[in-house]
Amino acid sequence: MAASGKVAAFRLPPLPTVKEIIKLFNLRAQKQLSQNFLLDLRLTDKIARQAGKLKDAHVCEVGPGPGGITRSILNADVAQLLLVEKDTRFIPGLQMLSEAAPGKVHIVHGDILTYKMERAFPKHLQKKWEDDPPNVHIIGNLPFSVSTPLIIRWLENVSNRDGPFVYGRTQMTLTFQKEVAERLTATTGSKQRSRLSIMAQYLCTVQNRFTIPGRAFVPKPEVDVSVVHFTPLVQPKIQQPFKLVEKVVKSVFQFRRKYCWRGVEILFPEAERLEKSEQMLMLADVDPTLRPAQLSILHFKNLCNAYRKMCDEDTSLFSYNYREELKQKKRTRKKGHLEQSARED
């Protein structure tokens, strides 16, 4: 059966198992690189199925490693599979898979954090943003240290419709540490609600599909892993530049246990903090005594719109940085102390 559940037109020929490949090429997982492999092909099939129908699709798999998920993607009868793998040790094993699926696989030995996906697939695959998603998918089980910065980068790409999203609303199926997946999909008022929840959900439909227990991986990580599916929204729920939304959301969640006015305040220089934060909350019609986790995406939309209006009126406001002001104050205080002790000496 194909990954879609239908009879496949393509099936990989008999190959050594993933376990045998690991042995053959001496691919011991490097703990410092957080390498944990999936050897159970039923599980890798299940991950590939989460991407939807992959027949004739153009797929980028990030971090294929010894190639478990890679086999499932190929068995789903894709048209093209691009593999981006950083660790050179995996390349020979992936080449073996490439030979078993002639003309379909392209291997890139590189870092997904710098790889330019906008040129990876043929131009004719491009769809209008408002159309259904293109037949282009990103699938990957990456180390957690890479997957979180990467999703933030890709969300910014969604907002700008560049990078992997020059093809349209490219769908992503990615693994995260279970707790991170819970944050990505957390609803208003839930304990896991965080910066990631807002950043992901204002741009995408985000679904936490299923959780894989840590024991399914070799070697076993300390944590469980969840598979999350992202489809960019036709209309983002907040229509402001990504960096502006990121700044507002980050500031509000800076004091996650306090009332939300506390985080709003730090968007403004100390001298005008009280007045401006009151003005912003009034403009946005947000109750200052709500906690960050209680704010809906609509609240954030109103906060971002209000902040944008204030930035348009005061063009120096957006570049204001709370941490910089704190550091500057500390430096000034330290300098004052030094000058005073020099005078006393």
Residues forming contacts to ligand SAM in the complex (CB under 6 A) are 33, 35-38, 62-66, 68-69, 84-87, 90, 111-113, 141-143, 146
Instruction: Give least dist CB 221 to ligand SAM, A.
Output: 8
Pairing of strands 204-212, 225-232: antiparallel
Q: State the nearest-atom distance from the C-beta of 111 to ligand SAM, in Å.
A: 4
Residue 69 or 166 with smaller CB distance to ligand SAM = 69
Asked if residues 50 and 173 have their Cβ atoms less than 8 Å apart, the reply is: yes
Structural tokens at position 127: 């769809």
Residue 61 CB, shortest distance to ligand SAM, in Å, is 7
Q: Compare residues 8 and 29 and give the one whose CB is closer to ligand SAM.
A: 29
Provide the minimum distance between the beta carbon of 113 and ligand SAM in the complex, in angstroms, as a whole number. 5
In this complex, which beta carbon is closest to ligand SAM, that of residue 44 or of residue 197? 44
For the chain, list the strands marked E by DSSP. Answer: 37-38, 58-62, 80-85, 105-109, 136-140, 171-177, 204-212, 217-218, 225-232
Rounded Cα distance, 308 and 242, in Å:
12
Taking CB atoms, the residue at the shortest distance from ligand SAM is: 63
Minimum distance, C-beta of residue 299 to ligand SAM, in the bound complex (Å):
35
Nearer to ligand SAM, 79 or 91 (CB): 91
The distance of closest approach from Cβ of residue 131 to ligand SAM in the complex, given in angstroms and rounded to an integer, is 30
CB of 37 to ligand SAM, least distance (A): 4
Our CB check for ligand SAM shows the closer of 36 and 177 to be 36
User: Which residue number, 179 or 285, has a Cβ lying nearer to ligand SAM?
Assistant: 179
Our CB check for ligand SAM shows the closer of 149 and 336 to be 149
Tokens of 231: 């489809």
3-state secondary structure of 203: coil
Scanning the structure block, which residue is given the tokens 């570049």? 319
Here the tokens at position 186 are 């957390």
The Cα-based distances of 226 to 104, 147, 194, 211, 331 in angstroms read 28, 12, 17, 4, 44
Q: How far is CA 75 from CA 52, 179, 306, in A?
A: 13, 31, 50
